[in-house]
Structure 1
């Protein structure tokens, strides 16, 4: 979708400017601004990531900054002749990215405010337990120790609890690789319920069923044929009293609706996935 979208926008840009000479102003601003941003980011990397002295960082980047700023300033003279085009694209992309970031923050804040402690909830449930059915239920939850919305809806509407219940949180770390020996963190909650944290590096390829097979021999046996994966499919409801402008909340709601599902990302078997929806106001 992104590739085809870029193709359409490129065709529209060519039709709008009609010639490469008309695109020169847009190209100049795009390149010089990219050079300027790279220089600024270089300063932050060598200063705050690598920890070099401030004086050395300023000396290493200030010359490039002055040169890049001079090039960018001179290209601003062509702003009305097509230089506005890359700035308009940048503003649009930045708005979409910032809306997604702020929307996720508001969504997580709302979910955290409404979260129920998992251990206390299970203790209350097993005082008068519902009917237990055979098989394993895997409930995905964003934060360990909280009750997944999918479980609440399953108990409310189906009034049953599986024989074995796994409460799984997938954590993506800011390291390239996490070995299989550190993939799982297990905590027994009693009554055949387990809290599971699955760890991935950003270069690991997520595969939740494969990761859960690592539980074999650690006090638990997972049978893929009798395992069901319960996911919460949240629908965002914008409100006038939210933390963003109303149009940004509507944009985030549409982006969230079109986002790829967790089932495909985690390679869950399609014939074993149960999605239970809920509406969340932000």
Structure 2
């Protein structure tokens, strides 16, 4: 999506509505639990007016500093040809540094790994929070935990079961439903603010400072919970490619930020009212489910239904984000190939990945039954998000320095306050590791181990194949002197290193004792840009009249269609690359990993790499090659 600032008014309105439904689903459902959980951290000895205003002030200023200043006004300008998100930033930083900085790859892999920790918590926490709101409906106060968990599970299973069908048919409802949701947030907030306008004092940052100064370590636990108000901010840049910068900024500044601010103020006003009642009766005030209590009894049930719909939409956005991130990670070589299915003929970005879908669902259900309440789960939420934010900020410094060509001192002066804020929040959340914060860290560690193993295993396999292989130039020269039987047609040999003769070519010569009239040594590359101009996609290097090296370049967001892209490009003898008579056959080498006597990897890593390599998706489907034109030939690599 182009980042034009001169979009037609109708397009801008439509894109803004779409962004409200997709981009802001996660952060838009934070009022369900964020203020309640932050206040709960200081509620052990009752709740005072200073604590209500202090927590509220921290929440309001987190929205201002983290979301508005950092993401909406600054990071949204760091797009990679219109695309955002941690892997797009990694790709942009890698391009700016000439792909020579290992630190950039580490940042990108860490951010991607942390995202998966977030992806399993968001649906579990948001849907469970909404369903728990049923207890505030008159007559349902005694609803048991078992009923809450079963209802939550049914909603989540239904949502994930719909993913193979795609979301194009219902995506049009996301924007209008979220529009009603944010209107409800603002309306409830305004109603309670009008009953206690004194809550507006929370805009004074002195309440933040007084609270943190007077509460010591408890203040840090509160700060970790306050961070729940800004979870979902990463979606502002991750979805830029779908909607563009201007609609996302407009949606936040005009609707979402005011609605969230009003709702948090309304919850604070309601808490102040309860405090006044408790003090009048000389009682300590306890914590409550402030969001649902804002609604009158008659509107409580419709609000629970609306909240459930909003959390389903927020969960859908995270699931779609997991598909998109996984697709980018595969294209950039961070993960093995997985099955990818297109679910919309009109939208290239509408994809479904079975392994990711059912893997995330398993994690979500495990969290729901492991924690059993949204309050218990809230402690697990912030660490993954704050970790991703730290990574994003570090990448933004590299981009500002190396890509925008800013002086490093000025770049550091601008970005250091954001990094300090992120590290402060991260430190506050780390304190809650034992309460559940270990869950996203464990998920991130598992994904990170997979990424590291895949990267290192591929590199070592390539080195081993190069050691054992035959230089392609030498083989071509030998075959020119003593040619085998020549058969009509074109043979395309997929290879990772076109300088070395592919094992499939050597096996074909050994067993069939024949050579096609035209042989193409094809390497498919993914570059650090979202898209590659079709005119720049194919690069040719003619070795001799029989052999041609071809590099086929794709962006990490491009749709891969190998036969079509090759057929469109002119060949060295005229006509298309695949237009020679006799047809085209695609030769794919299937390498089996074996243990070497002198291992190149630790044994556990070799075992894991074997598993990943063996279960990677069929390259035939991934590259869109017709199965009836594929010849697979096996080989062995000892690691």
Deviation per residue, 1:225-260 (Å, 9 max, x gap): 721111111112234633332101110111011112
* Match of residue 608 from structure 2: 251
* Structure-2 change in CA distance of 1:171 and 1:217 (3 Å): closer
Residues 1:14 and 2:14 aligned together: no
> Does structure 2 retain, via aligned residues, the 8 Å contact 1:184–1:214?
no
SS of 1:70's equivalent in the other structure is helix
* Match of residue 421 from structure 2: 67
How much does 1:60 deviate? 1.6
* Match of residue 381 from structure 2: 27
SS of 1:30's equivalent in the other structure is helix
How much does 1:2 deviate? 0.8
Unaligned runs of 5+ in 2: 1-354
User: Map of 1:218-233 to 2, 5 A cutoff?
Assistant: 218-221=572-575, 222-223=579-580, 226-233=583-590
Poorly superposed stretches of 4+, deviation over 4 Å: 215-218
Looking at structure 2, the residues matched to 266 and 225 of structure 1 have their Cα atoms a distance apart, in angstroms, of 22
Q: State TM-score, norm by structure 2.
A: 0.42
More displaced 10-residue stretch of structure 1: 127-136 or 216-225: 216-225
Residues 1:241 and 2:595 aligned together: no
Residues 1:82 and 2:436 aligned together: yes
2:617 to 238, 244, 260: 260
* Match of residue 188 from structure 1: 542
* Match of residue 148 from structure 1: 502
How much does 1:199 deviate? 2.7
* Structure-2 change in CA distance of 1:74 and 1:169 (3 Å): closer
Residues 1:136 and 2:490 aligned together: yes
> Does structure 1 retain, via aligned residues, the 8 Å contact 2:488–2:581?
no
Residues 1:169 and 2:523 aligned together: yes
Structural RMSD (CA): 2.2
SS of 1:206's equivalent in the other structure is coil
> Does structure 2 retain, via aligned residues, the 8 Å contact 1:240–1:246?
no
User: Map of 1:184-223 to 2, 5 A cutoff?
Assistant: 184-216=538-570, 218-221=572-575, 222-223=579-580
> Does structure 1 retain, via aligned residues, the 8 Å contact 2:493–2:502?
yes
Looking at structure 2, the residues matched to 69 and 83 of structure 1 have their Cα atoms a distance apart, in angstroms, of 16
Higher RCO (CA < 8 A, seq sep 6+)? 2
Deviation per residue, 1:103-143 (Å, 9 max, x gap): 11111211222332222212212333222222221112222
> Does structure 1 retain, via aligned residues, the 8 Å contact 2:489–2:581?
no
> Does structure 2 retain, via aligned residues, the 8 Å contact 1:119–1:145?
yes
Higher helix proportion, which one?
A: 2
* Structure-2 change in CA distance of 1:224 and 1:35 (3 Å): farther
More displaced 10-residue stretch of structure 1: 97-106 or 198-207: 198-207
> Does structure 1 retain, via aligned residues, the 8 Å contact 2:488–2:582?
no
Residues 1:43 and 2:400 aligned together: no
How much does 1:150 deviate? 0.3
> Does structure 1 retain, via aligned residues, the 8 Å contact 2:490–2:582?
no
Task: State the number of aligned residues.
Answer: 282
Looking at structure 2, the residues matched to 54 and 121 of structure 1 have their Cα atoms a distance apart, in angstroms, of 50
Unaligned runs of 5+ in 1: none
Deviation per residue, 1:43-84 (Å, 9 max, x gap): 232223323222222222222222332222233332212121
Q: State TM-score, norm by structure 1.
A: 0.90
Pair member with larger Rg: 2
* Structure-2 change in CA distance of 1:80 and 1:136 (3 Å): same
Looking at structure 2, the residues matched to 21 and 70 of structure 1 have their Cα atoms a distance apart, in angstroms, of 22
